[in-house]
Structure formats: structure tokens, C-alpha cells
Structure 1
Amino acid sequence: MKFEVEIKFPVDDLSDVESRIEEMGGIIEVPKRQADKYYSHPCRNFAETDEALRIRRVGDQNFITYKGPKVDDSTKTRREVEVPLVSGATGAANIVAMFESLGFTPVAEVIKDRRKSEFQFEGFEVLVAMDEVLELGKFVELEITAEESDVEAAKAALEKLAIQLGLSDSERRSYLELILGNA
């Protein structure tokens, strides 16, 4: 089973992190707008179970993502299952219609402009996402997708990378939780 091992940091300015990534040999992609629409379950309170279900639109691409409960008290490590959907506005509208027909209701939408860089660090493929989130500000997410047996090593690698990138004071809440004002 794969886990998303993630640490997120609020920042005032992304340029210092971008410079450090480039010094490490990372190539930073052009920004892409991501619109994430989150849904509540008709029979389960995702806020109580610490789960999330979303539809993500990135340009013409659509994805459905389930995020399980966080597995520790210090990071955002959790099981994540993401499935690509039919592309385009019609594909997104169809999955929205299906969700709402099944009793799922929209909770909130998180819109962000994301610049990504992926590179090897400490034996892992690391994704660094530099986000400008509407209504919230700027953040850097460090992420590794790992097997359950590698979760602790992945967390240690991300903590080491955070120090090298000059990041501190991690934020464990998701963008959705921050927008909704959840503690």
C-alpha cells in the first residue's frame, strides 16, 4: 500500500526556496492552476474521520482523489488513491453529476497556482510544490510517495530536505482545513 508522506510549510516568499532547489539541480516547472473541489460523504463525516474526497482540475485534466486519515501527529502522511478521469469540462461535469446523484455534497473549493520540481534526495523521488493558494497565501509542500515500510525513512528525508531549503514551522492542516478554519 502506498502512502503520501508530506510536510507543508507556510512561507512569505517562494523565491529563496526556488533558488535553493535550482542550486540542488532541480528544475522548476511553469505554474499550473489547480482547482480542487472537495465533497462530504452522505453517511460519514470526513471532518471527524480525517478523510478527504476531491475532484481536481488541472488545465484539461481531471482526477478523483481519496485521502485517508493522517497516520501520525507531526506530518501529513496518509494513504492516497488518485485516479485520472476523462479529460475536459464534460468529464469533470459528469463526475460532479455522479457524486451529487449519489448524495455527496460540495464542501469547498481550493484554488492554487502550483510550481513543481521533482528530484532525487536521500534515495527517494521528492516532489516539491510551491503553491500560491487563493485566500491562504504561499506554501511549500515536500512530498514522497512511499511503501508503508519506507514511511519513516521518507519522513526523515523530508525533514532533512526542509532544513536544506530553509523551511521551518510546518503546517499539518490541509488547505481545505485551513480554508474552513478547522483546528
Structure 2
Amino acid sequence: MNLIEVERKRALDDVTQLKARLAAADYRPAGSSVEVDTYYSRPDVDFLATVECLRVRRRDGFAEVTYKPASTSATHSATDVIAKPETNVLLAGPEQAGAASMLLDVLGMVRLCRVEKARETFRHPERDEVTVVVDHVVGVGAFAETEVMATDAAAAASLLGQVEQQLGLDSCPVVRLPYRDLVLHHDTAQAGA
């Protein structure tokens, strides 16, 4: 059975406080990186409307192309838990990201935006399926994403809620939009100012 990523994103006012709660709950730093994502849509389908994702990601000696299907009531719950399968194609190296972007361009895909974020990853030694990340998205702000990889979306959503409560994230505002959309809204507001 395929693994499904079950996640929820929340806005952070105090990153330092969350990091202290992560340490107190025995979550340990598992790495940091800068990710640069270029997002695309099809010319005949508005991925902003369907909440689909097609991106080329570059990160520290790594590059991949990712596709996430359209959101539906089955993949995006009333509590803003997102459970979608992902298709990831690992590229031979970071230099291949440019070639992947060029391929999408010549196929007629529409380039939407570029999202740059600094990501800190935390993991618990007894919960391999759980990841908590702190993202600083350029121009947009700081966020926490709690992610659970599982085959059972309902059980994963329950565990996600438990982890958020344990870390005090349940009091932080849920962010329903993907980073792509937040950056596009920010860029539009900046252009209109």
C-alpha cells in the first residue's frame, strides 16, 4: 500500500517558543536546508483553483519534480488536514532542476511563482512517521507543518492532532493555503502597493 502524507500547516508568532516545546517533548533537530521551489500550472487547468501542485524543488545538492493531485473533500478535511499521495521524481543532481524547468516550459506549462524557504526539520526518536518542520518563507512569514506518513489517513490525522496538541500548536492559526498561494498573494499585494 502507498504511503500518504498527512499534514497541517499553522502560522507561528514565536518560533523560539515552539523550538523549546519541541526540545521538551524530545523532538530533535534533524537538519536544516534552504529550498527553492518553482511552481507550475497547466495552460488548460488552473492549478490554483484545483489546488494541484506541480513543482521543481532545489535543495542542498538535491532536486526533484513533485506532483500532488487536486484537492477534494476526501483529501482536504473540514479540520484542514491534508492527505494526498505525492508523485516525486528524483533528479540526477541539483543542476537537473534547470533542465526540468526548461522541459515544463517547452511543454507549455505555465510558471506561477518561486517560493524560497529556510526549513528546519525535527523528529522524535520513537516516532519515525512524524516530522515537524519550521519554515521561514521569504516575504510571507514563519510556519510550522506537522506531517505524518502513513497508509491509514484517519489514523494519521488523529496522530497529527495529538502531536499538535502536545506541542501547543493547536492554538496557532491554521493556514489553509499552500506556500505557493501565500507568495502569489504577497507578490500581488506588493505589486499593487
- Displacement of 1:2: 2.8
In the other structure, the counterpart of 1:29 is 30
Instruction: Number of aligned residue pairs: give it.
Output: 178
2:88 aligns with 82
Equivalent position of 2:11 in the other structure:
10
Q: Does the Cα contact within 8 Å between 2:38 and 2:113 map onto a contact in 1? A: yes
| 8 A contact 2:31–2:122 mirrored in 1 | no
Structure 2: state its 5+ residue gaps: 187-193
Is 1:113 aligned with 2:118? Answer: yes
Q: Percent identity?
A: 30
- The alpha-carbon deviation at position 120 of structure 1 amounts to 5.7
Deviations 1:56-113 (A, max 9, x none): 1002210111112331232222221222112132x11111111111111210011000
- Return the alpha-carbon distance in structure 1 between the equivalents of residues 180 and 94 of structure 2: 24
Partner SS, residue 158 of structure 2:
helix
- Give the Cα separation in 1 of the matches to 2:89 and 2:26: 30
Kindly provide the amino acid, as one letter, of the partner of residue 76 in structure 1.
I
Partner of 1:99: 104
1:166 to 165, 168, 174: 168
- Of 16-25 and 33-42, deviating more is 16-25
Residue 95 of structure 1 aligns to a residue whose secondary structure is: helix
Corresponding residue of 2:130 = 126
- Alpha-carbon distance in structure 1 between the residues aligned to 2:159 and 2:125: 11
Deviation at 1:31?
2.6
> Residues 54 and 65 of structure 1 are in contact (CA less than 8 Å); yes or no, is this contact kept in structure 2?
yes
- Distance in 1 between the 2:10 and 2:53 partners? 20
Residue equivalent to 1:137: 141
Preserved contact between residue 34 and residue 118 of structure 2 (Cα < 8 Å): yes
TM-score normalised according to structure 2 size: 0.85
Task: Give RMSD over aligned pairs.
Answer: 1.8
Give TM-score, length-normalised by structure 1: 0.89
Matched residue, 1:151: 153
Distance 1:76 1:88 in 2: 28
The equivalent of 1:180 in structure 2 is 184
Deviation at 1:125, TM superposition (A): 1.2
Structure 1 residues without counterparts, runs of 5 or longer: none
SS at 2:101's partner residue? helix
Between 10-19 and 66-75, the greater mean CA deviation after superposition: 66-75
